[in-house]
Every structure is written in C-alpha cells, then in structure tokens.
Amino acid sequence: MSTSWQLITERLRNELQEYGALLGLFEEQQTNLLRRDADAVVSLAGEIEDQVRVAQSTRDLREEAIRNFAFENQQPANSSLRHLIPFFPTEVQPLIQALIDEINHLIHRVRRDARQNQILLSRSVEAYEEAVRTLRPDAFAKTYSRRGAMPVVNAGAPVWQAAG
C-alpha cells in the first residue's frame, strides 16, 4: 500500500485537532481553578487524561504513516517529517510545513498550560493546608522527607472535626 501525501496530511490534521481539544480542556481547567470550582477541576482531570490518550493514539498513527512514507522513499524509518518534505510534491510542501509548525506550536501551548495549571493547583493546595494549620495548628507535625522537603503529616484527629 502506498502512503500518499493525502494520508499524511489527514493524519497531521487529525493530530492538530486532538491537540486543539486538549488545549481547550486545559484552558477550561484553568478557568475553573481560578473560580475555585473543585468539582469541575476534578471532572476535567479525567477528561484531560482521556484526551491525552486520544492525542497519543493519533500521533502514533501519524508516525506510522511517516515511517511507511520514509520506507517507500528509501529513507531511514526514523526520518523526521521535516527531513521527508523534499519527497512530497512541490505544491504540497508548504502545507506539510504549515501543519508541522502548527502542531509544534500547539504542543508548546499545551505544555505551558499544563505547567500553569499544575502550579495553580499546587498553590491552591498550599493555601488550603495553611488555612487548616491556622485553624488547628496542633493537628499537624512537620517532618522532613528523604529529599529534604517538608511534607505535612497529620498528627491528630481528622481536620474536619476541628469545627465541631
């Protein structure tokens, strides 16, 4: 079976769509983190995990098509798509280049948003722990982990009983 440029562009477009969907989920999660909507954040975490799997599957299909294209053009199987651009019809090369650039741009944005959300979530947990320590300081003992970090270990009754 010949791996045509149409199949590769279709796979690239599918991958682009899946990364776009993932980016949308991260942006929605960030909105809910800022709104402090814990239920929505937890719900979106599962959706994000599912979307990551879909995006990876789409990427795997694209990589398989590229390996086949490389083989058909007597190139190494691990050739990058950028390396293979000269083997595409001249009129298609700008399209392939644009799709590669857009996917790389989306991957960068997804990574950035994931990092930002992780920081926001971490700070939210820290603020929660600080509030609980303020309300019930005797319920926590500070100890050092093997890596030198100071995790909080609950040394007393459940924190939720502090109000009662």
How would residue 156 be classed by pLDDT, with cut points 50, 70 and 90?
Answer: very low
Which domain range does residue 41 map to? 5-163
pLDDT value at position 62?
A: 95
Give the CATH number for residue 69: 1.20.58
Please enumerate, as own/partner, the contacts of 61-70 that have beta carbons within 8 Å and a separation of 24 or more.
61/11, 61/14, 62/8, 62/11, 62/12, 62/14, 62/15, 65/3, 65/7, 65/8, 65/11, 66/8, 68/1, 68/3, 69/3, 69/5, 69/8
Residue-wise pLDDT tens digits, 76-107: 999 999 999 999 999 999 999 999 999 999 99
| Confidence check: pLDDT of 132 > 80 | no
pTM of the model: 0.74
Condensed to tens digits (0 to 9), the pLDDT of residues 108-128 reads 999 999 999 889 888 877 777
Instruction: Specify which of 42-46, 135-139, 149-153 reaches the highest per-range mean pLDDT.
Output: 42-46
Count of structural domains within the chain: 1
